[in-house]
Amino acid sequence: MDPMLLDIDEPFTSSRLLIRAAGSGDGAAINEAVKESLERLRLWMPWAQQAPTLEQSELDARRAGIAYRQREDMRLLLLDRESGRLIGSSGLHRIDWGARRFEIGYWVRTSEEGKGFVTEAVHAITGFAADRLDAHRIEIRCDSRNERSASVARRCGYTLEGVLRGDSLSPDGGRRDTMVFAKVRGAELDV
């Protein structure tokens, strides 16, 4: 089935989060969260090497919404269900619809670190991908030095399949190793 024909229930929720696609009007909240967290994000995220302008954040949010509707990339915002405050961002990336393979990426604003929001979001997004998108394989990839990100994958029951040595460049231009965690239907990924 062509992914454009999928009727995707969105937004969806977890116990504390409203999870939905980014889009028009989200730029200000994203800009605020990125600027708050820039020093931490800069270590791991190539897109976070300098503070974005409000206009850049709004354009990025709108483009993300279009990519979501076209099923090319599915960026998701993590919002506090009670206050509506942006907690962070996640999503399903590097999508291969034929193989039904997705990669979950995530970041959380600095003031919300250590509260379990990312773990909660990964559980919810894993369920969404398995139930609504018929995912066969879901991966989490992270720099081998990013222990916080690797801990999320482990807490969510993802299996470390290996470490890709020197496979990419870190934001500072140095070589990095990438840890690849996965859940596969019939093994860890059951619906």
Q: What is the pLDDT of residues 55-100, one digit of tens each?
A: 999 999 999 999 999 999 999 999 999 999 999 999 999 999 999 9
Residue 179 has pLDDT above 80, yes or no: yes
Q: Given this model, what pLDDT does residue 190 score?
A: 65
For residues 73 and 120, give the distance between their C-alpha atoms in angstroms, rounded to a whole number. Answer: 21
For residues 27 and 22, give the distance between their C-alpha atoms in angstroms, rounded to a whole number. Answer: 9
Hunting for tokens 């503070």 — which residue is that?
51
- The helix-helix angle for 117-132 and 147-155 (nearest 10°) equals 50
What is the Cα Rg of the chain in Å?
16
SS3 191: coil
Instruction: Give residue 35's identity as a one-letter amino acid code.
Output: K
CATH number of 10-136: 3.40.630.30
For residues 103 and 95, give the distance between their C-alpha atoms in angstroms, rounded to a whole number. Answer: 7
Lowest mean pLDDT among 85-94, 101-110, 122-131, 171-180: 171-180
Tell if the pTM clears 0.85, that is, is over it: yes
- Whether residue 11 contacts residue 4, with contact meaning beta carbons closer than 8 Å, is answered with no
Q: Given this model, what pLDDT does residue 44 score?
A: 75
Q: What is the pLDDT of residues 140-176, one digit of tens each?
A: 999 898 999 999 999 999 999 999 999 988 877 889 9
Where do the structural domains in the chain lie, given as residue ranges? 10-136
Confidence of residue 2 (pLDDT cuts 50, 70, 90): confident
Helix, strand, coil % in the chain, rounded to nearest 5: 35, 35, 35
Cis status of the peptide bond prior to 3, with omega within 30 of 0: no
For residues 181 and 162, give the distance between their C-alpha atoms in angstroms, rounded to a whole number. Answer: 7
Q: Given this model, what pLDDT does residue 110 score?
A: 93
